[in-house]
């Protein structure tokens, strides 16, 4: 188990470093000097986030161009999952302060554990919420706009207007694209003028890994697509634009034998949230300890992993205990997706370590 770095080597620190360069504002904890020195000053910054492109995934043959551009290792925040990391990008804050503390999150005001990617409960029913109010104000995009920098996110068009997009991109211009070529073209064209922060998102690597596994043809095709995006942007962006690449988490693959299903009815009184690689728990202490013995996992205090100065909201959402599965395992309570090949959300180096790519 490793603890994410929030003091200068994390994803939040990368965001605040780029914000400081664009606005001239001192935002406190920024990147460590050895990482910051790899990033050039620029008129505009394009931040490319490839979902699931952990440092380990850079060893894939299709990733050579991206691997050659790697200038250091960053840490994803905990839990190492998409909605948490994207909320970190959207705010420049650790989970302890932005309050998005897991993939499956206990939302007290909704009275439900909510899948924060889709905003449905564990039964798959929609959860109606004021999505734009979930993250604190002002977010990154609002701060940039107030400083005269235009924030733009380049995303798949199917994501426009979704609950997650409304949550994450309040204050940003949403540029919808419809295929890989369109995504590259839009990013290049938008970077051609003005002082801008452009956040471009590629989803295919994570999806292919979850569904098909790291050794699959589909995963290789997704890695090739991500490399095509990087190469296209690196070769076409103007010289006064800096291209920075990173990820939201890494990936680990598990067999069916590696999956610990919680189906014993004696555990029904517990509330489960979080991720299969780190289950957040509420309930009776002795029953939680019995669950630990049943799974062979380890109980830790989640507050120590989500970052400094936790807000009241984060404390309410993070649970009484965090159950970390044994090495090489995932824990799947009722409502957690047991169909996947790859998972993340834990505290291994493969999940936490992400690259810092620089053109």
Round the average pLDDT of the chain to a whole number and report it: 97
Residue 252 dihedral angles phi and psi, to the nearest 5°: -135, 145
**Rounded-to-integer distance, Cα 75 and Cα 89, Å:** 13
Position 29 pLDDT exceeds 90: no
Residue recorded with tokens 């938008």 = 190
pLDDT tens column, 226-262: 999 999 999 999 999 999 999 999 999 999 999 999 9
pLDDT tens column, 300-347: 999 999 999 999 999 999 999 999 999 999 999 999 999 999 999 999
**pLDDT interval class at 1 (50, 70, 90):** confident
Three-state SS across the chain? CCCCCCCCCEHHHHHHHHHHHHHCCCCCCCCCHHHHCCCCCCCEEEEEEECCCCCHHHHCHHHHHHHHCEEEEEECCCCCCHHHHHHHHHHCCCHHHHCCCCCEEEEHHHCEEEECCCCEECCCCECCCCHHHCCCCCCHHHHHHHCCCEEEEEEEHHHCCCHHHHHHCCCCEEEEECCHHHHHHHHHHHCCCCCEEEEEEECHHHHHHHHHCCCCHHHHHHHHHHHHHHHHHHHHCCCCEEEEEECCCCCEECCHHHEEECCCHHHCCCEEEEECCEEEEECCHHHHHHHHHHHCCEEECHHHCCCCCCCHHHHHHCCCEEEECCCCCEEECCCCCCCCCEECCCCCHHHHEEEEEEC
Residue pair 291/78 in contact by the 8 Å Cβ criterion: no
Instruction: Give the chain's end-to-end CA distance (angstroms, integer).
Output: 32
Residue 69 dihedral angles phi and psi, to the nearest 5°: -90, 0
Position 18 pLDDT exceeds 80: yes
Q: Which of 23-27, 208-212, 213-217 has the least mean pLDDT? A: 23-27
Residue pair 19/201 in contact by the 8 Å Cβ criterion: no
pLDDT tens column, 124-134: 999 999 999 99
Could you please state the CATH topology (level 3) that the domain comprising 11-253+347-358 is classified under.
Alkaline Phosphatase, subunit A (3.40.720)
Of 116, 317, 283, 132, which is closest to residue 291 (Cα–Cα)? 283
Could you give the angle at the alpha carbon of 13 between the alpha carbons of 7 and 15, nearest 5°? 170
Q: What's residue 30's pLDDT?
A: 86
The residues facing 196 across adjacent strands are 150
Q: What is the mean pLDDT of residues 106-120?
A: 95
pLDDT tens column, 125-159: 999 999 999 999 999 999 999 999 999 999 999 99
Tokens at 234, concatenated: 């690196």
Judging by DSSP bridges, how do beta strands 120-121 and 150-156 pair with one another? unpaired
Q: What whole-number percentage of the chain has pLDDT above 70?
A: 100
Q: What whole-number percentage of the chain has pLDDT above 90?
A: 97
pTM of the model: 0.97
Of 197, 96, 97, 85, which is closest to residue 137 (Cα–Cα)? 97
Q: What is the chain's length? A: 359
**pLDDT interval class at 40 (50, 70, 90):** very high
Could you please state the CATH topology (level 3) that the domain comprising 256-343 is classified under.
Gyrase A; domain 2 (3.30.1360)
Q: What is the mean pLDDT of residues 208-232?
A: 98
Position 27 pLDDT exceeds 80: no
**Maximum distance among all alpha carbons in the chain?**
62
Residue 231 dihedral angles phi and psi, to the nearest 5°: -60, -40
Q: What's residue 11's pLDDT?
A: 98
**pLDDT interval class at 26 (50, 70, 90):** confident
Q: What is the mean pLDDT of residues 294-302?
A: 97
Domain map (residue ranges) of the chain: 11-253+347-358, 256-343
Q: What is the mean pLDDT of residues 86-91?
A: 98
Judging by DSSP bridges, how do beta strands 120-121 and 112-115 pair with one another? antiparallel
* pLDDT, greater one: 311 or 1: 311
Residue 81 to residues 34, 48, 196, 237, 306, Cα–Cα distance (Å): 26, 17, 27, 29, 12
**pLDDT interval class at 120 (50, 70, 90):** very high
Q: Which of 22-31, 104-113, 179-188 has the least mean pLDDT? A: 22-31
């Amino acid at each position: 188990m490793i603890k994410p770095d929030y003091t200068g080597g994390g994803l939040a620190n990368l965001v605040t470093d780029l914000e400081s360069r664009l606005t001239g504002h001192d935002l406190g904890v920024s990147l460590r000097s050895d990482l910051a020195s790899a990033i050039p000053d620029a008129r505009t910054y394009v931040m490319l986030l490839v979902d699931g492109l952990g440092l380990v995934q850079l060893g894939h043959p299709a990733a050579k161009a991206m691997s050659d551009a790697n200038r250091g290792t960053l840490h994803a925040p905990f839990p190492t999952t998409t909605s948490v990391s994207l909320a970190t990008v959207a705010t420049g804050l650790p989970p302890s302060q932005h309050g998005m503390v897991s993939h499956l999150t206990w939302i007290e005001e909704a009275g439900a554990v909510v899948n924060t990617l889709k905003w449905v409960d564990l039964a798959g029913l929609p959860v109606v919420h004021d999505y734009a109010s979930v993250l604190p104000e002002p977010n990154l995009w609002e701060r940039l706009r107030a400083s005269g920098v235009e924030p733009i996110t380049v995303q798949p068009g199917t994501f426009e207007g979704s609950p997650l997009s409304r949550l994450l991109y309040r204050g940003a211009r949403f540029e919808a694209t419809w295929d890989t070529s369109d995504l590259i073209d839009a990013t290049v064209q938008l970077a051609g003028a003005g002082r801008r922060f452009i956040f471009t998102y590629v989803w295919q690597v994570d999806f292919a890994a979850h569904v098909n596994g790291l050794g699959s043809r589909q995963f290789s095709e997704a890695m090739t697509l991500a490399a095509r995006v990087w190469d296209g942007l690196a070769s076409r962006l103007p010289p006064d634009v800096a291209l920075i690449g990173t990820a939201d988490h890494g990936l680990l693959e598990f067999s069916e034998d590696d999956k610990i299903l919680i189906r014993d009815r004696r555990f029904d009184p517990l509330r489960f949230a979080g991720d299969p690689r780190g289950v957040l728990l509420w309930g009776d202490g002795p029953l939680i300890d019995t669950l630990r013995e049943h799974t062979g996992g380890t109980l830790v205090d989640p507050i120590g992993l989500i970052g400094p100065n936790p807000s009241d909201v984060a404390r309410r959402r993070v649970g009484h205990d965090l159950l970390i599965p044994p090495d090489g395992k995932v824990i799947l309570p009722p409502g957690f997706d047991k169909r996947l090949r790859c998972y993340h959300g834990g505290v291994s180096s493969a999940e936490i370590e992400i690259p810092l790519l620089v053109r």
